[in-house]
Structure 1
C-alpha cells in the first residue's frame, strides 16, 4: 500500500518536495503565457571582478546580433567581470590599440572585433583579446557562421575570454533546459545558457516536469503526464525522437542520468512506497536501490558516478542523504533545518546546492561538502530546482519574482545574480547542460 505523506510535509499545492516526487504533482500554479526569449538583468557586486572593455564590434550595427553586447552580458553574469566604458572608440581585431588609453579607463583587458556579412548570407565574426596591464596580445579567433549561429559565436568568444583571463573553462556556449506553462499548455525548451535562442523540444496539454540532461548533452530525460500519470521519457535533442523509459504501476518520476550515460536512477512506486531504482538507459527491468518504509526520491549522481544523493523523510521530515551508486546504507548529509530537498552536486564535487524551508520560505542554500558549512544565498522565498553550471561556478534555479515564476543564475556566494526573465511567462524546472563539444 502506498505510504501516505507524513504530516510534516506540506500538501502538494504548496510543496516543492511533493511536486518533484509526483505523489500529487498536479499542483496549482499561475497561468501565464509561455515565452522563448529572455532578458538579462545582472545585480550585485563581487569582490574581485576583473574590469574589461568591449568595444562595439565593427559592422555589428548592420548585424542582427550585437556581438559585443552579448559577450559583455555573458562575462558580467559570471560574476568574474565588470564592464568598462568603451564609448567613442572604433577598433577591430586588426587594430593596434593605444593600451595607455585603456589603462586610464581602468580596464585590465580589452576585446575588439568585427562582424561581416558574406555573399552567401553567412557572417564572418573575428575578435582579439588584449591584456591591457601587461600590454600583451592574448590572441583571437574567427568564426564563419549562418545568421542563426551568431549568438553561439558570441558565447564562444565569451568562453575564450573567460578561460584566458581566469584559467577556467567558460560555460556560455552550453545550454539549459526548462519548462513553461502557458494557458493549459506545457512546453519543454532547450535554450542558450543566457536563456535566449530557445527551441521547443516538446509541447503537451499535460504537465512536463523534471527535465535532466545526459552527460553528453544529446538527450533529455523528463516526466510527462500524457498518460494521466507520471511517466519517464528519454528525448533525443537533435532528432526530436523520444522513447518511453519507465511506465510501471504507480508513479515514475525524478530521473537522473548516471555520468556514463548507461543508466538512470528513478523514483518508482511500483512496489508500494516511493523508492529509488536504476534502470538501463535503453529501458528494461529496474533494479531497486533503497529498501525503506519512507519516501525516497530526487536522486542525483556525483560527477564520478560513485555516489547518489537523494531526499528521504526516513528521519520524520525531508532531508538529503547519500549512498553508494549501487545502494547500501545511506548517510545523512543535511542537518541544519527541518526540511531540505532538491539536491544538486557540482561537477567538481565540492558543493551541494539544495532548497531549505526557512520559516515557511523555500530558499536556495549551498553546502561545502568537505566542511559541511552551509550558506543561504538568496533573499527570495519560493526557490526551486537548483542546477550547477558545468564549471561549478554558477547555479541556475527557478523562483517567484513579482508574481511570476522566473529563472535566475547566481554565483555560489550569492553576490552576483542575473534574472533570465521574459515579458511574461511561468518558467520552471531548469537544468544546466554539460560542456558542448566544439
Structure 2
C-alpha cells in the first residue's frame, strides 16, 4: 500500500540525471500484423532515427511484427504492393525526413495496405530537432489506429521517480521512457505521482515538510500548490475522472482512512467510517466507484465502494495479500500486485468475470498503471538486482523493458492522451 510502503522509497539506488533508456522487447503475441517498414529517406541525416523509434513503438504494443524492406521507398510514389505482400507484409510504412532551410525537419510518411491494395493515408510534420521523437511517436499512433481501430498511445507521457545520491527526482518522459525531463528535485522522498485527466498536472506526495503531504504540480510551468497537509499522514492521491476532485488517504482522525476533497484544496470529506487501514483509492472511469486496499478482513485486499461511500464490497479473493489496484480506462480490467509465496507478482483481473491471471515471472512487481487505450500496463519491478520499468500486454506475452543505464527507477504512472 502506497502509504505503508514508504520505506521502499528509501532504498533506491543512484540514477544519473541524464540516464537514457533502451527498449528491450521480448515474447511473441498470439496474432501480430506483419508490417514492412522502409528506412525513411534521409533518416541517416536526422538527429533521431525515426524508423527505429516507430519500430520500437509498434513492437512494444505486441500487435505488430516488423519486416525490413531495405532502403529506396518513400511517401512520394505508390509502391509495388503486390511485391510487398509476397514478402509476407500486410502493410507498408514509407516516408522521408528532410532538413528545411529554417533548421526544422519535414517528416512525411504514408501507410499502405498491401492486402487490399489501398492507400491508408499519411501525415507530414514540420518540427524542430527537439520534437523529432514526438513526430515519430505520432507516426506510430497513426499506424496503430489505422490498423487496429484502437487509439495509439505512443505520443503520451509517463511519470516516475528516481533517487540519485541524496536527491529524489520526479520525472516526466515519453511513453517509451526517453526524453525524460525533471519536474521536481528534492532532498526528501517523492512518491505516488498521479496524472490529472487533462495530462497537464501531477499530484504527488512529498516528504520535504518532514511528513507526507500532497502537492499538485503544473508540468509545463513547474508551479505547484499544496493541497493536503493535515495532521498526520497525507498520501496516495488519485484524481476523479472529471479532474475536479482528489481521493486520498489521511490519518488526521487516527488510522489511515479514505477522503475526497476538491482538487484545489479545502476541507476533505471522509468516505467511510472504518477501524481498518483503507488506502490506495482509484476511481472507475465513470467516477461512480472507488477501488481501494483495506485490511478490514485481516489482510490487505482490494475492495470497491460507491463514490458516496456506501456499500463497500471485497473484490479480490485469491491470495492473502493484494495491493496497488489500477483500473483500465475502458473499465474492463483491474491490475494489482499479489504476494505469492513471498514474491510480489502483477495480476490482471477481468472485472466482468472475475477471472484472474498472473502475467509476470518477476518477484518484486510494483505500482501498475494502464496505458490510455487499456492495452498495456506499465509497472516497476526488480530485474537482475536493479529496479526497472516494464510494459506488458494484458496477456503477459509481450514485455518491454525500459531500463536506465546507471540506476533504478520507481513509481510509474501512465498519463492520458492530451487533447
Q: Distance in 2 between matches of 1:332 and 1:406?
A: 31
Q: CA deviation at 1:55?
A: 0.6
Q: CA deviation at 1:100?
A: 2.3
Question: Is the counterpart of residue 107 in structure 1 residue 76 in structure 2?
Answer: no
Q: Which residue of 1 aligns with 2:68?
A: 85
CA contact (8 A) 1:22 1:230 kept: no
Question: Is the counterpart of residue 97 in structure 1 residue 74 in structure 2?
Answer: no
Q: CA deviation at 1:85?
A: 2.2
- 1:328 is paired with a residue whose SS is coil
Q: Which residue of 1 aligns with 2:58?
A: 75
Question: Is the counterpart of residue 422 in structure 1 residue 404 in structure 2?
Answer: yes
CA contact (8 A) 1:128 1:140 kept: yes
Question: Is the counterpart of residue 39 in structure 1 residue 22 in structure 2?
Answer: yes
Q: Which residue of 1 aligns with 2:109?
A: 127
Q: Which residue of 2 aligns with 1:196?
A: 178
Q: Which residue of 2 aligns with 1:216?
A: 198
Q: Which residue of 2 aligns with 1:49?
A: 32
Q: Which residue of 1 aligns with 2:394?
A: 412
Q: Distance in 1 between matches of 2:68 and 2:96?
A: 18
CA contact (8 A) 1:34 1:180 kept: no
CA contact (8 A) 1:363 1:380 kept: yes
Q: Which residue of 1 aligns with 2:254?
A: 272
Q: Which residue of 1 aligns with 2:98?
A: 116
For structure 2, the residue ranges without an aligned partner over 5 or more in a row are: none
Q: CA deviation at 1:33?
A: 2.0
- 2:310 is paired with a residue whose SS is strand
Matches within 5 A, 1:330-345: 330-345=312-327
Q: Which residue of 1 aligns with 2:160?
A: 178
Question: Is the counterpart of residue 311 in structure 1 residue 300 in structure 2?
Answer: no
CA contact (8 A) 2:10 2:189 kept: no
Select between 91-100 and 318-327 the one with higher mean Cα deviation: 91-100
The TM-score with structure 2 as length reference comes to 0.98
Q: Distance in 1 between matches of 2:166 and 2:367?
A: 22
Q: Distance in 2 between matches of 1:150 and 1:202?
A: 25
Q: CA deviation at 1:309?
A: 0.2
CA contact (8 A) 1:26 1:207 kept: no
What number of residue pairs does the alignment pair up? 418
What do the CA deviations read for 1:314-337 (whole angstroms, capped 9, x no partner)? 000000000011211210000000
Q: Which residue of 1 aligns with 2:243?
A: 261
What do the CA deviations read for 1:409-432 (whole angstroms, capped 9, x no partner)? 000000000000121221000000
Q: Which residue of 1 aligns with 2:49?
A: 66
- 1:329 is paired with a residue whose SS is coil
What do the CA deviations read for 1:98-127 (whole angstroms, capped 9, x no partner)? 122212221110000001111111111000
CA contact (8 A) 2:159 2:415 kept: yes
Q: Distance in 2 between matches of 1:99 and 1:324?
A: 54
What do the CA deviations read for 1:201-225 (whole angstroms, capped 9, x no partner)? 0001110000000001010000000
Matches within 5 A, 1:12-27: 17=1, 20-22=2-4, 25=7
Relative distance call for 1:325 and 1:58 in structure 2 (3 A) is same
Q: Distance in 1 between matches of 2:132 and 2:162?
A: 25
Q: Which residue of 1 aligns with 2:123?
A: 141
Q: Which residue of 1 aligns with 2:222?
A: 240
CA contact (8 A) 2:189 2:207 kept: yes
For structure 1, the residue ranges without an aligned partner over 5 or more in a row are: 1-16
CA contact (8 A) 1:356 1:362 kept: yes
What do the CA deviations read for 1:326-350 (whole angstroms, capped 9, x no partner)? 2112100000000000000001110
Relative distance call for 1:333 and 1:34 in structure 2 (3 A) is farther
* RMSD across aligned positions (CA): 1.1
Relative distance call for 1:67 and 1:237 in structure 2 (3 A) is same
Q: Which residue of 2 aligns with 1:384?
A: 366
Select between 265-274 and 116-125 the one with higher mean Cα deviation: 116-125
Q: Distance in 2 between matches of 1:183 and 1:296?
A: 33
